[in-house]
Amino acid sequence: MNDHLIPTTRRCFIGAAGAVFMTSAAVAHASEDLEKVTQALADALAPARVDIWSKWTHPDFVLTDENGERIERKQFLAEMRPLPAGASGTIKVAQFSARKFGNLQVATYVLEELEHYHGEELHARYRQTDSWLRTSAGWRLIASQVIALRTDPTSVDLSAKLWAQYVGRYQLPDGLTMDIEWNGNSATMRKGMASARSLKAELADLLFVPGEPRVRYLVERRDGGEVARLIQRRESWDIVWKRLSATTIDRSE
């Protein structure tokens, strides 16, 4: 999701709007039910209910958002703004569980987000872990950390001719090899002596292995169009596989 979709209301919940939210009085009756309080906090984001977040966060609250940024409570509350015109949605707290350790409770859950953005519909999922501290005023949220749950991209069908161009053996500087094979219907990738994995295409010359949503394989070609290298990109980090041949090697030999 592009950065311009992220409202300052809450960086770890990307633009979700709660159609219904608990009032402060209703939340007060749920002080021992962290799941209900957590849902109330999520619902309070879109309308920028600073009062609810002020009530339930500890003075030393700190958030680590999905971009790895550390945000103190004062900054977090100061940046809360209602969603802009054209943006709305919902967040549902799911798979909630909490464990108590004396005066501390640690909760983890999944946030299911549905966002409507200027006529388009977007979906996202996050895993959040919260630490709650028992104070004289009751349980207060003292720390939160959130990560975005990634999914595989939609695959496209490529021609057999194009898949045949990727077939071959590739190698890293220390000698580790990778083979790409095509059987006429599907492609596989095998690194070293590991098991073969299914290989799909997000676009022409942009490949991925299902189940590894953080990684893409970019095909780099020579001026004449021949495949020269595969760039294994994990987010912003690259590993370069040099192509050795246009055929794979029988590993049983």
Dist. CA 12–CA 93, nearest whole Å? 13
Q: List pLDDT tens digits, range 166-176.
A: 999 999 999 99
Three state DSSP letters for 45-90:
CCCCCHHHHHHHEEEEEEEECCCCCEEEHHHHHHCCCCCCCCEEEE
For residue 50, with 0-12 CB atoms within 10 Å meaning exposed, 13-18 middle and 19 or more buried, which class applies? middle
Q: In terms of pLDDT, which residue wins out, 10 or 63?
A: 63
Q: Domains, the chain, ranges and CATH?
A: 3-148 (3.10.450.50), 160-245 (2.40.128.50)
Q: Which of the four pLDDT bands, split at 50, 70 and 90, describes residue 227?
A: very high
> SS3 for 164?
helix
Q: List pLDDT tens digits, range 59-71.
A: 999 999 999 999 9
Q: Which of the four pLDDT bands, split at 50, 70 and 90, describes residue 88?
A: confident
